[in-house]
Structure 1
Amino acid sequence: MFLFVFVLTVLPVFAGGQSYYCYSPDDIIQIRKSAQTSWGRKILDRIKTDIAERRSHDLTVPVVEGGHIHHYYCDKDGQRLTFDWDKPHAHYCSACKTTYTHVNRFDWAWIYMVHRKNQEYLQACMYAYMATGDLLYVNYIKDMLLDYASKYAAYKEYNAARVISDKHSGKAFAQSLDEATWATYALPSYTVIKKYLTQEEIGKIESGLLRPCAELLLNRPAGANWQMWHNSGLAVLGVALENDSIIDVAMNDPVRGYYALMKKHLKPDGWIDEGSPNYHYFPLQALIHTADVMRCRGINLYNEDMRKMFVAPIKGTYPDLSYPAHSDGWYGASVLSELPIHELAFARLKDPVIETVLEHAYGMTDRTAYESLLTGQDIKPVKEPMIQPSYCYPQSGFLCLRSGAVSSVLKFGGQGIGHGHPDKLSITIHNGEKELISDFGTCAYGLKLYLDWYRNSLPHNMVTVDYKDQNRKALGKLISYEATPNGGRAEAECTTAYSGVRMLRKMNLEGNILDDTFDCASDSVHVYEYVLLFNEKPVFKAGKGQSVVLDESKVHSRIKNVKKYKVGKKVSFKTPSGDLLLKLSEAPVKELLVGEAPGIPALKLAEEGTGAQLCYPVIVRLQGSKNMRISARWTIFNANTNK
């Protein structure tokens, strides 16, 4: 077992550092100046409102360990349960109107939520103090940290299965990952107020909370985004404890340190290699907070790699600044949900591309991120969609064809480490306002739908073979790509998704017309299923349908109310957002299957909702042939095109 012996001696390895802080004196001066502007006062008012809301509830730190947030979702419809401060043992689902009482995993997840709200409270109090100098907020932070220090060491080290373990487990939370995120956001508050504490108070907080948390993270070796967060938490703890030994592990461990992980996981095109926008921005939060904390030790991580990790993904957004939900990415991933770190990046890098995306973001939402106060700059909203040219990420394995507001994304590579889906040569289409066909990403990992539906090949807009998933290690290859003045064209293949089958997809976008051809070739006879997942119910003419039950796999069985139709060489579909004409190659058996299935999942953070939305799968099934070709012509509508 990996074991780190906790070292109190400060190693002289960061000679360039002058002090230990998470926010420099200049930062605090800037925050205070910004808080006196018209735009900054609005943010400060929001901070004060957040603090007042938290203080209207019990401030006592829980005595019981928290659970796993992925267990705080309704089993029936995937909706996140509604957190109620007054009901730790009663959990309401807004979708099905069920109240679950005394369900252990929900009760433990409720405690998780309390710890998260305490994290937000500590961060809000920290910014309120830096913005105003009011010592009232120092006392708020001190009281809560002392309460944590009196209880934290006694927490058992449970994992997500509520089993005591030294692998992946946390203390306040069920995962060391969550422990690290909490430390990253909550514990800079200690460094900000430390000068006001007595030696006795410092001793209690450091021995009761900071050191046990550091010991936990030092003894939880991990990889990829988990270890990036562990390092971020350790960086904060190292600074808080003024211990360069801890910082040295976080930065320089040859396998798990910051530099080693960047070398291993950052792609040349700017994406972290976990296969989705969601799993780019999640570890990027850790990386930028590590960079921010390390400034005090003379370590500059605000370099070209950091700039690239912010600027490059911006070139991959839809016009509304959202992304396709690739792999285990939650649906709704967007620059809008990552504004705090974009504000922090703009404050440190002053990059014009980041400024531009912030301008467009604030044309759609209010500027409320606390980190905005660090910028010292008013951002003028731009209310127009962010229109960009076509763009390709060859190393990360996807590309965006664009014409005005119309976009189509082709995913041909990217395994996503443990978060990847078997989805090579899948596409999405966006009309500038919404997706016509989607990659739905994931629901909560604790739900049965995750393994039975979303994580498989069938719920992706592509071709499956013989009712099976693609080989999960398969990678496609980009054959050609060209951006054009009014769109773009691309061609990609995959020869490893199914043994003995070569798959080829060609796309050409011009204006609001997308031509998309999918070919499969093999020396053997197969069943090919060409799948499209509509968000709007398509209208089509195909004669009289026959009601059938799909039982070819557990994934097929998730499609309900299925009707089967016989089809010829062509079939056309209409939706409010676009028309589609399909041309089909010959096969001994050709069938059109249309039904209903789980579509856009309940959003990760939304406590009010209707659960997973329906999608409308259209499956063209060709049986008895070695080869297959389906050509699609999409006419895509939006507010700027004629229907």
Structure 2
Amino acid sequence: MSTGIRHKTEKHAWGRRVLAELREELDRLEAEGSLHIPVEPGGWWHQYVCPRHHTELLFDPAERDAYAFRCPYGCLIEGEAYRGAWLAFKHQSLARAALQAAAVYAASREAAYALLAKRIIAGYARQFPYYPVHPEAQPWMLKGRAFHQALTEAIWSTTLLRACLLLSDEGVSWTEPEREAIDGYLRMLEASMTEYRRILIHERGNAENNYTAWLNASLSCIYAVKNDRSGLLALIAGEGGWKHHLSIGVKPDQLEFEGSTYYHVFVLRAYLISAEMAERFGIDLYDAEGTAGQSMAGMFDVLAALADDRGVLLALHDGPMERLPYAREIAEIMEIGLSRYRQPGIVPILREAYRQMGGPDGARCQLEALLYGEGEEPAARRSVERAAAAGRGFRLLPDSGFVLGRRPSNALSFLADFGPHGGSHGHYDKLHLTLMHRETAFTPDFGMVPYGSELRRQWFAETASHNTVTLGGASQGAHTGSCLRFEEIAAHTYVWLRSEGAYPGCRMDRHLLLTDQWLLDWFEVTAGEEASIEWWMHPVVPAEEETARTGMGTSPEQVADEGGVYPLAIEGQWRRLPVVKRYEAAASDGSAGELRLSYKVPGGGRIYHTALLRPGDEACGVRTPGTSVDPSRPLTALLHRRHGRSARFVHVYSAGERTALKETSLGAVQVESAGGIRTCELTEQGLTVIGGERHE
């Protein structure tokens, strides 16, 4: 944290505005009596989810206490699990209030805010010994005191201890009883965090776990408060310490080892807290590297590559698509990253985080801005942002197994997943395709609902919720695919991905060809035996059929019971999804016909989608749960399927104009756009492209 907080409010209009907002919020919370420390420990926040709508329940930090909890649709939920989850949010909000009060004091020198921060910190220090080692924690958890999980306790402790350090930096003194309580809290916390590290690293042999990064961050804060330089040095250098974890918890391509954007942010934030504490002792971790070149600068760079054109971080594997606490974490690390590494690709991500936090047009707001923001507003850096977007192109992450294709003149871009499963935070999603438009992620990875929702395993982790292929309604097995070929040349960007472990005897090949006008998606499947082979695509906007080229099926009300549902085999049980539309291609001679759809995107743009439907193929609209932000708002997926030993699915997407598809008598595919005709043929070396642009 910067000790120049007061300087920000004197120099920048945004600093004065944010200070006023933070002061007003604290005054309101104090007046309502809500800054009161509960004597009960917190539970597991993932259980704070509506069992009917699967949306996160509402939390108001102004509530002093609560036993009934509402979902955004008005459901009133009661029960111990929900109470425990609410308490977890409450404890975290109080730690945040302590840090906020310390920051307001640093900016204003108003003693009331220093006293408020001290009251919360010392209050928790006194209460902490009375929290039990949590009896309600689930068996797999490392148990905390103030929370079910030691992980949550570590995160919470870093907020409290950063507040304590900020007060000390600003010359605030502690009374002897306060100091004794804090010293006792530090001793207990250090002992428990050290023991949890021993269990995780030595007993379980799981040093790469994201837990480890946070146990390290908590201990780093403890050593900073205690001014224990030798303890910090030992922590950094030891097994499972900061440098070791960077080497094993982050892949050489700079992405966190689970392949999750959310957990990447999560771990990077812990690293930055440890680096902040080390800097207090004159130790520089900001430019340190792991054994394969991993670095925090590299971790920021890969986030910039993974963000869409608006700055939204794609929700790969487990993690939310959008959530206020997550946006705050992103804002915090991006502010630090921008000041430390000056990477222009960070700017749109930072602006989008502030937009999600309520900042108009991405203006700075809330505590993260005052603590970590420097210089002019992110929204004032549009020229930097545009330059960063123009410079982004093809990106292969060979170790994590993701590939991105972008071309400056095409509004469409893509990300595909072929890498490791991702462990407990992974999804059964090999060869998944995220298709992006400059205005929206058109077919995103939906991420994950809170883990307390039954839809975690009944939908969001399963293959059918992704844009890839299933066999017989069953999810893929956990496995790793491969990238057989990738190239970026003047005419196109091309990727060939393969999966051979999804189903016994099954081989899947996905070919993605991105030109300046369109994206061709050619998916070949050899099942090994007769099977229903199912290609899924989940747009977040509804399809609009072009009736001149598409034969329309029956309406949802007219679909017969038999065939009116689509069965999925999930965790040994059948889940049935309603079929709400059937499509037929406009072909009368028995050859492959075109299915033509289009989609409106925000900002007035349009995506055109053309698919080849070969004789024997079936295409239909299937009603599915919505995104992980709100699963209760259903979406309609496109299901393209064929029964047999093999299948070929060929689709093309374009923005701004329709692109036509035609299959030749030799099995090649012709793609026709305003730029000309290209013939794509599948060979043993992948796709061969003949033809080019039509120049006037």
Which of 26, 31, 38 does residue 51 from structure 1 map onto?
Answer: 26
Give secondary structure in 2 for the equivalent of 1:271.
coil
Q: How does 1:202-221 map to 2 (within 5 A)?
A: 202-207=179-184, 209-221=185-197
The alignment's C-alpha RMSD in Å is: 2.8
Indicate how the Cα distance of structure 1 residues 390 and 556 shifts in structure 2: closer, same or farther if over 3 A, else same.
Answer: farther
Taking the aligned partners of 2:531 and 2:97, their CA distance within structure 1 comes to 58
1:260 aligns with 2:269: no
1:418 Cα deviation (Å)? 1.8
Give secondary structure in 2 for the equivalent of 1:272.
coil
Q: Is the 8 A contact 2:257 2:400 kept in 1?
A: yes
1:67 aligns with 2:43: yes
Taking the aligned partners of 1:218 and 1:370, their CA distance within structure 2 comes to 30
1:525 aligns with 2:503: no
Deviations 1:365-402 (A, max 9, x none): 11125454556422434187644323222222112212
Deviations 1:580-602 (A, max 9, x none): 2212456xx53333221112122
1:579 Cα deviation (Å)? 2.3
| Structure 2 letter corresponding to 1:251 | I
Indicate how the Cα distance of structure 1 residues 444 and 432 shifts in structure 2: closer, same or farther if over 3 A, else same.
Answer: same
Q: Which runs of 5+ in 1 are unaligned?
A: 1-22, 603-609
Taking the aligned partners of 2:235 and 2:578, their CA distance within structure 1 comes to 50
Q: 1:595 — aligned with what?
A: 622
Q: 1:181 — aligned with what?
A: 155
Give secondary structure in 2 for the equivalent of 1:116.
helix
Q: 2:80 — aligned with what?
A: 104
Deviations 1:229-266 (A, max 9, x none): 11111110121123356535632331x22122111122
Q: Is the 8 A contact 2:580 2:621 kept in 1?
A: yes
Taking the aligned partners of 1:130 and 1:427, their CA distance within structure 2 comes to 48
Relative CO higher for 1 or 2, CA cutoff 8 Å, sep ≥ 6? 1
Q: 1:279 — aligned with what?
A: 263
Q: Is the 8 A contact 1:33 1:376 kept in 2?
A: no
Give secondary structure in 1 for the equivalent of 2:127.
helix
Q: Which runs of 5+ in 2 are unaligned?
A: 201-206, 289-294, 355-359, 601-605, 658-672, 675-696
Indicate how the Cα distance of structure 1 residues 138 and 337 shifts in structure 2: closer, same or farther if over 3 A, else same.
Answer: closer
Give secondary structure in 1 for the equivalent of 2:212.
helix
Give secondary structure in 2 for the equivalent of 1:553.
strand
Q: 1:500 — aligned with what?
A: 505
Give secondary structure in 1 for the equivalent of 2:575.
helix
Indicate how the Cα distance of structure 1 residues 347 and 590 shifts in structure 2: closer, same or farther if over 3 A, else same.
Answer: closer
| Structure 1 letter corresponding to 2:542 | K
Which of 441, 462, 465 does residue 468 from structure 2 map onto?
Answer: 462
TM-score normalised by structure 2 residue count: 0.80
539-548 or 273-282, larger mean C-alpha shift: 539-548
Q: 1:424 — aligned with what?
A: 430
Q: 1:151 — aligned with what?
A: 127
Indicate how the Cα distance of structure 1 residues 631 and 112 shifts in structure 2: closer, same or farther if over 3 A, else same.
Answer: same
Q: 1:94 — aligned with what?
A: 72
Q: 1:435 — aligned with what?
A: 441
Which of 293, 301, 305 does residue 277 from structure 2 map onto?
Answer: 293
1:611 Cα deviation (Å)? 5.2
| Structure 1 letter corresponding to 2:619 | L
Taking the aligned partners of 1:74 and 1:487, their CA distance within structure 2 comes to 46
Give secondary structure in 1 for the equivalent of 2:624.
strand
Identity score, percent = 23
Q: Is the 8 A contact 2:347 2:381 kept in 1?
A: no
Q: How does 1:180-259 map to 2 (within 5 A)?
A: 180-194=154-168, 196-207=173-184, 209-221=185-197, 222=200, 223=207, 224-244=209-229, 246-248=231-233, 250-254=235-239, 256-259=240-243
Deviations 1:21-79 (A, max 9, x none): xx5xxx42x32222211232223223323322332332221011111111111011112
567-576 or 313-322, larger mean C-alpha shift: 567-576
Q: 2:660 — aligned with what?
A: none
1:40 aligns with 2:37: no
1:478 aligns with 2:462: no
Indicate how the Cα distance of structure 1 residues 494 and 225 shifts in structure 2: closer, same or farther if over 3 A, else same.
Answer: same
Q: 1:447 — aligned with what?
A: 453
Q: Is the 8 A contact 2:351 2:363 kept in 1?
A: no
Give secondary structure in 2 for the equivalent of 1:294.
helix
1:186 Cα deviation (Å)? 2.0
TM-score normalised by structure 1 residue count: 0.86
Indicate how the Cα distance of structure 1 residues 231 and 558 shifts in structure 2: closer, same or farther if over 3 A, else same.
Answer: farther
Q: 2:688 — aligned with what?
A: none
228-237 or 433-442, larger mean C-alpha shift: 433-442
Taking the aligned partners of 2:565 and 2:327, their CA distance within structure 1 comes to 41
Give secondary structure in 1 for the equivalent of 2:178.
helix
1:338 Cα deviation (Å)? 0.9
Q: How does 1:374-385 map to 2 (within 5 A)?
A: 374=372, 376-379=374-377, 380-382=380-382
480-489 or 452-461, larger mean C-alpha shift: 480-489
Aligned length: 597
| Structure 2 letter corresponding to 1:621 | R
Q: How does 1:362-441 map to 2 (within 5 A)?
A: 364-368=361-365, 370-373=367-370, 374=372, 376-379=374-377, 380-382=380-382, 386-387=389-390, 388-404=392-408, 405-441=411-447
Indicate how the Cα distance of structure 1 residues 544 and 561 shifts in structure 2: closer, same or farther if over 3 A, else same.
Answer: closer
Taking the aligned partners of 1:410 and 1:178, their CA distance within structure 2 comes to 32
1:511 aligns with 2:516: yes
